[in-house]
Amino acid sequence: MANLDPVAVQPAATQATTQDRVAAIRRDFPILGRQVHDKPLVYLDNAATSQKPESVLAALDDYYRRYNANVHRGVHTLSEEATAAYERARLQVTRFIHAASEKEVIFTRGTTESINLVAQSWGRANLRPGDEVLITEMEHHSNIVPWQILAEQVGFTLRYIPLTAEGLLDLSHLDTLLTERTKLLSFVHASNVLGTINPVQRLVAAARAVGAKVLVDGAQSVPHMPVDVQALDVDFLAFSSHKMCGPTGIGVLYGKRALLEAMPPWMGGGDMIREVKLTGSKWNTLPYKFEAGTPSIAEAIGLGAAVEYLSGIGMEWVAAHERELVAYAYARLSQIEGVRILGPGPEARGGLVAFTAGDIHPHDLAAILDAEGVAVRAGHHCAQPIHDRLGIVASARASLYIYNTPDEIDRLAEALQKAADIFAL
């Protein structure tokens, strides 16, 4: 059998001071040692994708070098080893989010595909003209467009919870937006632009009062804080591997087992079937009913290694570290003339800060920061309605993670001040 434990290199971080612990974590990430424009890399684009530790890189390499094979149907040794590693990753994810069973964990290509799966399977089976789906104005496009497409096809009404001027959800009229016509409440746990952390339990309770199901976009929460799907009582949760130290090309849809059992398949093909006749087919059991074709085997194994890595660090520590960093970043950037930080204060946000700087186009701003070795994101971040609501076309965004430091925030602030000086803000 292949070694199915993360092959790896265990996290170098130990229970030490925060500074020592972050220094140890940074040694686990090879890419952080590189130079950009002859300057040490400051990577602050973690909301788009995170970097990968040695343990994840080693797990991917080990699969391809030692037991590369397809899963589930083979009886030869390599296939059995690959199947064991693939299913072990599912169990690791199950434990990480505290799902009741590994049958509730569906592997997808990412958050976007997970939400589309719910829309095209649960939504198409359950939504009718006269029904309503309630989402929010702070959603990523992946939690807007699938519902717009389905609404045009099925005929239900899509409604939105508005934002306050501070970048929070305006829940003052929630009782008029959430009615007996609402069949689904779908919302982002943590905004990828505003940083806002939404009150999941309050929203779930409100949805339950009218009999609505709940889908939560956890792309920006699962990598950054403890998430317990049973404690939150959500019906569906979607998130992506590549934002939590894992590979690209794989994500997760969690769903309550009874709901998943009742939902029809979304895609047809191999592995999602139990029997195929020319006159019809019978579906496989969960979770395979929703995993048509050859899955992302290496990527699932890599995700499992990432989950083990983060679990070794501790998600409570991750959340606390980011709270300290974002408070420091908010304070430092607020001191720069002309900088406007989007969203609420640090006490109500996760580990990112999106901002504008006077009339400097965010792409120009990002280019200047890149020349200083600082990587940030620029654009609308797949959240145009938020930018429309704020009256801006785009923003720059610095997003933080386990390996970032106050010194790197200082580098960001210094580079941003340099840009302000160049453009005479």
Identity (one letter) of the amino acid at 109? R
Query: Among the options 78, 174, 292, 382, which is catalytic?
Result: 382
Judged on CB neighbours under 10 Å (0-12, 13-18, 19+), 73 is exposed
Q: How many residues does the chain have?
A: 425
Helix orientation angle between 77-97 and 297-313, rounded to the nearest 10 degrees: 40
Q: With CA atoms as reference, report the closest residue to 360 among 351, 369, 352.
A: 369
The residues, ordered by sequence, that sit 6+ positions from 121 with a Cβ below 8 Å of its Cβ are 263, 264, 265, 266, 290
Determine the straight-line distance between the first and last CA of the chain, rounded to whole angstroms: 62
Q: Are 139 and 188 in contact (CB under 8 A)?
A: yes
382 catalytic, yes or no?
yes
Dig out the tokens for 261 from the structure. Answer: 């059992």
For the chain, give the secondary structure using H, E and C.
CCCCCCCCCCCCCCCCCHHHHHHHHHHCCHHHHCEECCEECEECECCCCCCCCHHHHHHHHHHHHHCCCCCCCCCCHHHHHHHHHHHHHHHHHHHHHCCCCHHHEEEECCHHHHHHHHHHHHHHHHCCCCCEEEEECCCCHHHCHHHHHHHHHHCCEEEEECECCCCCECCCCHHHHCCCCEEEEEEECECCCCCEECCHHHHHHHHHHCCCEEEEECCCCCCCCCCCHHHHCCCEEEEECCCCCCCCCCEEEEECHHHHHHCCCCCCCCCCEEEEECCEEEECCCCHHHCCCCCCHHHHHHHHHHHHHHHHHCHHHHHHHHHHHHHHHHHHHHCCCCEEECCCCHHHECCEEEEEECCECHHHHHHHHHHCCEECEEECCCCHHHHHHHCCCCEEEEECCCCCCHHHHHHHHHHHHHHHHHCCC
Q: Could you give the residue numbers annotated as active site?
A: 382
